[in-house]
Structure 1
Amino acid sequence: MQGNRILVVDDEPDITELIGLYLEQDGFIVHTTDNGEDALRLAKELKPDLIILDIQLKSLDGIEVCKQIRLESGVPILFVSCKSDDTDIIHGLDVGGDDYMTKPFSPSQLVARVKAHLRRQLQLSERTPDEVLAFEGVVIDLQARTVHVYEKEIALSAKEFELLVCLAQSPNRAFPLDELYNVVWGADSMGDTRTLMVHISNLRKKIEPDPANPVIIVTVRGVGYKFNFKEGITHVQR
């Protein structure tokens, strides 16, 4: 993991310097900027392995930066912001953020979260599943990373796809929130469960016939979520 390139975008010099110091101590190559325009330019030129992105930036805010990056790249984006309201977190994740941390935060916890995301990316790149998960009305191609719901292809973000695969590989099993976060984000109970819940909500909006009354990904009260298919799973090997 040493040598991974991290782009830090924050307009508070003290925070940028502190984050950079902690990341460099762990062997990361750190690039920094304090504005959105430079962030877009550096994201294209450097092709970083992960971006730490503040929301409140000069001229071009982090939300718009994330939107534009997502048009071309699936690089993990970790939002950091002093905004802690649920609506702010939901907005950041809706536009393509993978994770969200509120200020003030522990620099060591931030580094741990960065490592977890990078480990997860490495695991995904090494995995070469040659399999299709087929249910009545839902078909998930693990290699092509496509999802069809009632024959219509659904565009999912990287995290939404991983969440769906995790749940669909064990249909009707109730997954606790911490376990789902650990599997999909690669961090053992370090994350804000709101991050997971927002991604579940977004996933439901895309695949459920009626997102307000989900029948594919259902809530198991007191536990978490499950993929609700009574007929079981069909593994189609190529």
Structure 2
Amino acid sequence: MRSRPTTSVGAVTTYLIATDSDDLFGLLDAAIGGTASLVRVSSGQAVRPAVRELDPDLVVLDLQIGTMGAMAVCKDLRLEEGAGRLPRQNVLMLLDRPADVFLADRSGADGWVTKPIDPLQVRRAARAVVAGDGYRHQPSPA
């Protein structure tokens, strides 16, 4: 798999956020909105067309989004990349529970954060995934 080129100095970084939750988008805007231009889509079906139009630096997928969730969206992006119809995308997935880690890994996500979302952790995860380092968060058992 080829990696995406890094964003050049002075270029605007764009993050595509796929969530139908206003609360989650507000949290993400507060956490990473100051570091990038955020573009929101509210359905999984809207991700691929938005990726084609924007070629974002990062795609952030909420696990539960309408009728096409993050796992299906990530697999769709990876299949399109494999067929040469899309450039490689950096994908950060927002998981609902630790048990979702296996599926996130199998779907080809570059990184994930498990809810509840910690804004500082999301910022670290976004930076790591954009840099090509990946990010795997699983909360410690209570």
Task: Mark yes or no: TM-score above 0.5.
Answer: yes
Q: TM-score, normalised by structure 1?
A: 0.48
Q: Which amino acid aligns with 1:54?
A: D
Q: Which amino acid aligns with 1:62?
A: A
Distance 1:98 1:70 in 2: 11
Structure 2 equivalent of residue 167 of structure 1: none
Match of 1:192 among 115, 137, 140: 137
Shift of 1:92: 1.4
Q: Which amino acid aligns with 1:18?
A: L
Match of 1:9 among 15, 18, 26: 18
| Structure 1 residue ranges (4+ consecutive) displaced by more than 6 angstroms after TM superposition | none
Distance 1:118 1:79 in 2: 13
The answer for unaligned runs of 5 or more in structure 1 is 121-183, 195-238
Shift of 1:84: 2.0
Q: Larger Rg: 1 or 2?
A: 1
Structure 1 SS opposite 2:117: coil
Report 1 or 2 for greater relative contact order, CA contacts < 8 Å, sequence distance ≥ 6.
Answer: 2
Match of 2:74 among 61, 66, 70: 66
Structure 2 SS opposite 1:14: helix
C-alpha root-mean-square deviation of aligned residues, in Å?
2.1
Q: Is the 8 A contact 2:59 2:91 kept in 1?
A: yes
Distance 1:89 1:34 in 2: 23
Q: State how many pairs are aligned.
A: 124
Shift of 1:29: 1.0
Distance 2:44 2:138 in 1: 28
Structure 2 equivalent of residue 38 of structure 1: 46
The answer for unaligned runs of 5 or more in structure 2 is 1-6, 82-86
Q: Which amino acid aligns with 2:30?
A: L
Match of 2:57 among 40, 45, 49: 49
Cα deviations by residue, 1:24-45 (Å, 9 ceiling, x for unpaired)? 222x111011210111211111
Shift of 1:193: 7.0
Distance 1:19 1:52 in 2: 9
Q: CA 1:17 to 1:93, structure 2 compared with 1: closer, same or farther past 3 Å? A: same
